[in-house]
Structure 1
């Protein structure tokens, strides 16, 4: 189960190794690079080749017919429809007050500076559907994109072994009003959308989590001239649970396993100031693991899981901040009191009754979050990520005279004569009443 590492007796090298991620970085980057460059060079033909070889795709086009979405919705169980509707409602309520706002400031007499907001024009939402079709991810990405009023939203969904997109994902897309679903995934699907190949429209930005190859393809595209931007680093999932001696070990074990069942390279970390608690959690993990339908995936993930023994809760928070987890669960006395000390986490779950699963599905906050320590610089997906801002500047005659001398002096400091002249000519014209 979880190996125990005594933090205060560990060397700096051991500490660094304990907080490292089990990623397939170099291999994934090399393969994704080849795929992206091949699609860039060969276009549609390369996209079809990869889809046939990697997805088993045999269709005539990647766009799923609208009739398939309608049929999937009609066939969906009524209770499932209700659960999806309720989740959409909660996510919508949480995100409704988000978004950039227009601002206007008179920075000098006669100098009006504004910021105006525009939605992105076209985005792709990547919805993982390999071993687990993530209906919840479609909700988490689709709702803020719609609230931002993105003009054109396409969905990339890897087809199953039968070449078809999961019917529940199609039904959810129908319920959201997202009509453009493409049966393609992986690095080749990301490249097709980012470059506008294979019959897919070229998008401005790609959203959504995926495996290491998908994450690498998104990063590669974002660095290419004219390539699609990326939302955030989002690879294999991870959770860190902080638990004191009063935490319920069954709850803690369930939280760890709910992350471990995602992916063989998902990472789970337990941090506690109680060796007895760690032992109890290990026993509960062993018992609960036997009941899981995805226990083999969870077992693989647990091979690189770890438990970190610390001296107190303050040190537990410090370790968590170093790790910067995608998900942080705090199960200890008075957990709210530690929130101000938490600096780096994608999403925080406070208290024994707050499992990560609640946030994954229907509580409201977004579950598309930064991984691999990127929570030090990124937050989760939000409405703002589907928007951009433009600054707008306008000078009146008074503005040219009040601002002019400052601009001219600063241009002189930088030795940029044309800059100074551009301002000076206007200022003189206003002073002379031209």
Structure 2
């Protein structure tokens, strides 16, 4: 059976076909999901902890004795972790911390004109919730990617929720990232608890983290409610596009395609190349490598959503990438930095033979929480700034107000907002009367 059936020559298909090739797979969401999640959110809002216990038993088949994880259990998690795993977690933490610490901005203070002082203050979001999905393996890297920038930004309260029973590696990663409040609650009910608060779980100002379609739907619904809780982004299935030339390593490309395809059946990967020979070599390598992967069934289904695109040249490949705006972009060409200058839309970019996307997922430094579904054309990956607020301050002297008053009154008159004009004029009249 062919691993990739979707091989297209870009110059031989029309505009409609091109758009179809670059379209994302439709998420397999039933209409009942919206209604189900709405019911869960409403139950948590009204019943609080009782709803959390109920849904944990219903979905996770666990009778919780306590929602909150005891501090001693968190602090002692390190004793249950393999020393080599601990070492890897600590190296990843160091790199991620170093990169994110460089993102810190300084407050701004300047005079835009004589007597007009303007400032920009930076304040951390007071309380944040980070959601770490459960599943077949602990997502240690997601703890690091969320907790580190939250701590660096100065958030006073960082609350972590994850389905029971939480793996010791998750607890260890959270502990070394200064997270002390951890609750063993998952799914839409966890998002609702963070949004509304219960007797046990505190309400937070912003919720971060990926999840399944129920978690994503819960975040979507929460973001539309007027309850002072916002979300980071609505992350969809994983995406990878690889731009390659005849100098690329076919085995490396095949392994990169598999690494992202194994995320889930809705993942989507592309090879965009000007070399037909390379495309055939990658295809042969895929057929060989795929049998070494434990998640082979998922990979095969994901590859049905995926394409090999043959282009006339590399600049056409770049144009296709900018149109698609991938979450992850690998450029494996002889001179990858030459093409970098032409990339406009991508969540995170990996250059050259020795930069597999896997490194970015875990340990190199930049965040792996990235915009999907084409939002890389207008949004950025997660950073320290997402955990902060920027507040402007303005202070005018008497002379400053006099100098700018005509400008403001003229603009207010043009917009027919007499109250705005009068707020300035009343002060001018007062100054003139005083003199």
TM above 0.5, yes or no, is yes
Q: Distance in 1 between matches of 2:35 and 2:344?
A: 33
Q: Distance in 1 between matches of 2:416 and 2:297?
A: 67
SS in 1 for 2:54: helix
1:183-226 Cα distance to aligned partner (Å, 9 max, x none): 12222211221222463211111112222322222122112112
Give 1:34 shift.
4.2
Question: Structure 2 regions of 5+ residues with no counterpart?
Answer: none
Please tell me whether the aligned partners of residues 210 and 236 of structure 1 are also in contact (alpha carbons under 8 angstroms). Answer: no
Q: Of the candidates 2, 9, 12, which is equivalent to residue 12 of structure 2?
A: 9
Deviation at 1:281, TM superposition (A): 1.0
State whether residues 212 and 236 of structure 1, in contact with CA within 8 Å, keep that contact through their aligned partners in structure 2.
no
Distance 1:342 1:34 in 2: 43
Matched, 1:374 2:375: yes
Matched, 1:146 2:147: no
Report deviation, 1:235. 2.0
The alignment partner of 2:341 has SS state of helix
Secondary structure class of the residue paired with 1:432: helix
Q: What's 2:127 paired with?
A: 122
Query: For the residues of structure 1 that align with 2:64 and 2:175, how far apart are their CA atoms?
Result: 21
How far off its partner does 1:414 sit? 2.5
Are positions 1:21 and 2:20 aligned together? no
The alpha carbon displacement at 1:37 in A equals: 4.0
Match of 2:138 in 1: 133
Q: Deviations over 1:390-432 (max 9, x none)?
A: 1111121112211222222322223323222221121222233
Q: Partner of 2:431 in structure 1?
A: 430
Question: Are 2:413 and 1:408 equivalent residues in the alignment?
Answer: no
Question: Partners in 2 of 1:34 and 1:317 — Cα distance?
Answer: 45
SS, match of residue 336 in structure 1 = helix
Whether contact under 8 Å (1:125, 1:206) holds in the other structure is: yes
For the aligned residues, what is the CA RMSD? 1.8
Deviations 1:339-389 (A, max 9, x none): 111111100000011100111111111111111111111111100110011
Q: Which moved more, 1:136-145 or 1:107-116?
A: 107-116
Residues 154-197 of structure 1 show CA distances to partners (whole Å, capped at 9, x for unaligned) of 112122xxxx1011111111121211111122222112212224
User: Normalised by the size of structure 1, how large is the TM-score?
Assistant: 0.94
1:280-314 deviation per Cα after TM superposition (whole angstroms, max 9, x unaligned): 11111121111112222222222222211111111
Give me the whole-angstrom Cα distance separating, in 2, the residues matched to 1:77 and 1:158: 22
Q: Is the 8 A contact 1:144 1:386 kept in 2?
A: yes
Structure 1 gap segments, 5+ residues each: none
CA gap 1:38/1:269 in 2 versus in 1, 3 angstroms: farther
